[in-house]
Amino acid sequence: MRPFEYARPQTVDEVVALLDEHGPEAHVLAGGTDLLIGLRHGTIRPRIVVDVKRVAEIRPEIRENEGVLRISATAVLTDVIGDERVQSDFPALVEAAATVGSVAIRNRATLAGNICNASPAADTAPALLVYGAEIDLMSLSGTRRVLLDDFFVGPGETEIQPGEIVTAISLPIPARPVGVAFGRMTRRRGVDLATINLCCLVDSDGVTIFAYGAVGPRPFLVRDETGVLADRGAEERERDAVLREMAGHASPISDVRASAEYRQAMLGVLSRRALGKATDRLAAA
Amino acid sequence: MKFAHASSLTFTVNGTVHSLDVATHHNLLDVLRDVLELTGTKECCVEGECGACTVLVDGRSVNSCLMLAVEADGREITTVEGLASEGRLSPLQEAFLDEGAVQCGFCIPGQLMSAQELLAKNPHPTVDEVRDGLVGNLCRCAGYQQITAAVLAVAEAADR
């Protein structure tokens, strides 16, 4: 690993001052499970690493306030999975987070880090997208909130500007009943990146939303407002036609995990399964 | 503010407090093995894929290759050397030997640390829970059946 300076600020004011001073030569460290690999391979070469784990204002915390669940930037996946409010209001996020890496990875890796790393295959991204997650950002010039759908730009690329830090992920608690299910395909059970992943949300108004991962340069949303998918009495042929149309927005590539054709075919299979599970859950809600 | 490429680190390892100066770009694994000479923790993939470097940090399993040594400041670390006490192996270590779970032995320190955390959180795991708990620990001798049996055996023995 190439040498770098290390700072461990105690307040967000110190963090944004450091990020402002060093610009693109600074890199934020939260869980480090992606960063340390980048540092070792030399793909990330910061002059200074800013460790934010001991910053008072963003200490690990999951808190509900006025219908929004706020997950702080240093909250690790193990804590997200174990949180009762996440389990009751965002069960598909728990399903997704529980598939990331291994126990030891989830004990370090943060939810915010999984989003900031912006892998097209990030397992928590589809769930956060269908739940309408928003990203809280802070810099010397103030704070702003960006919808996750507007946050992803491309592989490894996000809306974060130089000098900015993600302070939290905010999840609006669904006001109406919804059924949500996560789906994922990998080559082996643990410690593998997703070949494809997705999340399906069906609401009581008949709107169905899918978020697809690993089938394009970034995780993305598609919507069906015809009500066909949400209608449990609809003809299978009709539903499949809508699902095919939605999956047509995917642009998968061929790589070591699967061919583009296989990904496209499995997107249909996983979509059908997740839709079935999501509609069952809505019916039971 | 000025920051250096070295930093002071005070942490507890297997019950002993250490104060060291470490390079900021050295990971916890390097410091445990090369500075404290605790070579039970193994280096292998250095990407968080194999689990050979697993240690406990404040009771939670961590890939020590993916953690900077300076991040351990103020933390309590347990390595495989901390499992035995007064010259006696822990029940978990005994179970690994009894079940024939140790072949070449390279992955075993990591397997033990992951199993240690699993049993602390869930003293009565099912087979699937053991497999999920140890999913981040690869064994190239493929002794998974015996490793799983050892974890289940020590969980059962704790009942008696």
How sure is the predictor about B153, in pLDDT bands with cuts at 50, 70 and 90? Answer: very high
Any B CB within 8 A of A241 CB: no
Asked whether the beta carbons of A86 and A62 are under 8 A apart, the reply is: yes
CA distances from A125 to A114, A131, A149, B56 (A): 8, 10, 10, 28
Any B CB within 8 A of A45 CB: no
Judging contacts by C-beta atoms under 8 Å, the chain B residues touching residue A189 are 131, 135
For residue A260, give how far its alpha carbon lies from the nearest alpha carbon of chain B (Å).
25
| pLDDT at residue A189, as a whole number | 79
Mean residue pLDDT across chain A = 96
- Which residue of chain A comes nearest to B135, CA vs CA? A190
Residues 6+ apart with CB under 8 A from A230: A202, A203, A206, A207, A208, A224, A279, A282
User: How far is it, in rounded angstroms, from Cα A275 to Cα A271?
Assistant: 6
ipTM: 0.96
Judging contacts by C-beta atoms under 8 Å, the chain B residues touching residue A48 are 3
Q: Are A190 and B135 in contact (CB < 8 Å)?
A: yes
SS3 at position B85: strand
User: How far is it, in rounded angstroms, from Cα A251 to Cα A260?
Assistant: 8
Structure tokens, B43: 């280096």
How sure is the predictor about A42, in pLDDT bands with cuts at 50, 70 and 90? Answer: very high
How sure is the predictor about A54, in pLDDT bands with cuts at 50, 70 and 90? Answer: very high
User: How far is it, in rounded angstroms, from Cα A210 to Cα A268?
Assistant: 12
Judging contacts by C-beta atoms under 8 Å, the chain B residues touching residue A39 are 25
How sure is the predictor about A23, in pLDDT bands with cuts at 50, 70 and 90? Answer: very high
Q: Are A108 and B66 in contact (CB < 8 Å)?
A: yes
Any A CB within 8 A of B128 CB: no
Mean pLDDT of B47-62: 97
Angle at A132 between CA A128 and CA A137, to 5 degrees: 80
| pLDDT at residue A285, as a whole number | 86
Mean pLDDT of A137-150: 97
Give the single-character DSSP code of B8. Answer: E
* Statement: residue B2 has pLDDT above 60: no
CA distances from B120 to A114, A166, A233, B124, B154 (A): 27, 33, 48, 10, 12
User: How far is it, in rounded angstroms, from Cα B135 to Cα B79?
Assistant: 19
Mean pLDDT of B104-130: 97
Per-residue pLDDT of B63-106, as tens digits, reads: 999 999 999 999 999 999 999 999 999 999 999 999 999 999 99
